[in-house]
A = this chain, B = another copy of it.
Amino acid sequence: MHRVIIVGAGFGGLAVAKGLARLPAEITLIDRQNHHLFQPLLYQVATAGLSPADIAWPIRRLVRSQRNARVLLGEVTGVDPLRKVVRLGGRPMAYDWLVIATGASHGYFGHEDWAEHAPGLKDLDDATRIRRQLLLAFERAEMASSPELCARLLTIAIVGGGPTGVEMAGAVAELARRALAADFREIDPRQTRVLLLEAGPRLLPSFPEELSRYTEAALRRLGVEVRLGKAVTRCGADGVTLGDEVIEAGTIIWAAGVTASPAARWLGIAGDRAGRVPVGPDLRPAGLDDVYVIGDTAIVRGAPLPGIAPVAKQQGAYVAHAIQARVLGSQEPPPFVYRDRGLLATIGRRAAVISYRRMRLKGRLAWWLWGAAHIYFLVSLRNRLIVVTQWLWSYLAFERGARLITGLKRLP
């Protein structure tokens, strides 16, 4: 029996498992979480709009009826590509085919000490941690002993002007200006300063320039201070330094850099600057015939692709096809080609941008399409119903449904 090990049950890994449903093989799907996460809506958990379970599903449930697949919860600590073995905790597991789809985490450009002060957003624990920090900032400001402390607590800096930074900035501004506006007595949450810091010359650098300009204007209308063209040189407990300007901020959120999981190290391959594994058009690293690397963990040599769900999904489907062909001895598929599914980012209430081939869409229609697309891609009917209910309520009542500070007892 052919043994396929898939490490990571994100969009990519799950697509591989699903694509191999009919193969007479033993498929092992390993993840260090018990759930598949719909990352595109993670920022809404961090800003109190959705609950964690609304955008997550137990991986086991997703492959329940696929009898050739099993799921293991655990952390892969290494790979031995010569002996064809994966180490799961202390336990070696042999494979015939290995797929690495472990995604990416935050990267601080070598300043890992910034992580403590500027948390990033990759999993549900990150999201509830940022939610706690944001909501606590308002609670502490309400009781602050001095106007200076209050002003610092109510300054929130978001580092990085890509889609995550833009979405966070818009959602934080709406949280402060609308959902929380009437709930305090000493402070006025509408005075909250939200800064979006981007080192490059414009927001959303992967989008057409026209949409970047629209995004910047829409964020400014929401009261976000957009700062372009200056890199962050320090993140600390007191705030963020931009060139030689110190911005006192009680909360810093990191949306600037990602670094791939340690897959390159496992395989003994030199990664690129962001730690990604270079792969050929067949999604295999040079010299490793039985290993595929996909999604945010990989970089296709000469043809880099954006770190978005459709890329991971298409690569996963491709790899399933390739493994199936090689197991069955049929013809291997031609080199992987990404079919563009467009780029989307939402800014706030009735404001989003979509770039799809030559089409550029912005504003209200883009926002409704963005919402419809995200509901469509949610995995289960239950989650669709719940997310639609939460969104409708937020839309009509200008509120946020998950304004919950959890884990307080365990705080220092």
Interface residues of A (CB under 8 A from B): 32-35, 51-54, 56, 58, 60-61, 64-65, 70, 72-74, 123-125, 128, 135-136, 139, 142-143, 182-186, 381-382, 385-386, 389-390, 393, 397, 399, 401-410
- B125 engages A70 (CB within 8 Å): no
- B406 engages A128 (CB within 8 Å): yes
The chain B residue with its CB closest to the CB of A405 is B34
Docked pose: A382 CA to B402 CA in angstroms: 11
Q: Which chain B residues lie closer than 8 Å to A60 at the CB level? A: 183-184
The 10 closest A-B pairs by CB, nearest first: A53-B402, A51-B51, A60-B183, A73-B139, A34-B405, A58-B403, A70-B185, A382-B393, A51-B53, A53-B404
26 A-B pairs with C-beta separation under 8 A: A32-B408, A33-B405, A33-B408, A34-B135, A35-B403, A51-B51, A52-B406, A53-B404, A58-B403, A60-B184, A61-B403, A64-B182, A70-B185, A73-B136, A73-B139, A73-B143, A73-B405, A123-B409, A124-B404, A125-B406, A125-B407, A125-B408, A125-B409, A381-B393, A382-B390, A382-B397
Copies in the complex: 2
Q: Which chain B residues lie closer than 8 Å to A409 at the CB level? A: 123, 125
The chain B residue with its CB closest to the CB of A123 is B409
- A35 engages B386 (CB within 8 Å): no
Docked pose: A32 CA to B410 CA in angstroms: 12
Least Cβ–Cβ distance between A262 and chain B, in angstroms: 15
Docked pose: A70 CA to B185 CA in angstroms: 7
- A56 engages B404 (CB within 8 Å): yes
Q: Which chain B residues lie closer than 8 Å to A382 at the CB level? A: 389-390, 393, 397, 399, 401
Q: Which chain B residues lie closer than 8 Å to A136 at the CB level? A: 73
Least Cβ–Cβ distance between A87 and chain B, in angstroms: 14
Least Cβ–Cβ distance between A25 and chain B, in angstroms: 14
Most buried by B among A56, A142, A386: A386
Docked pose: A182 CA to B386 CA in angstroms: 24
The chain B residue with its CB closest to the CB of A184 is B60
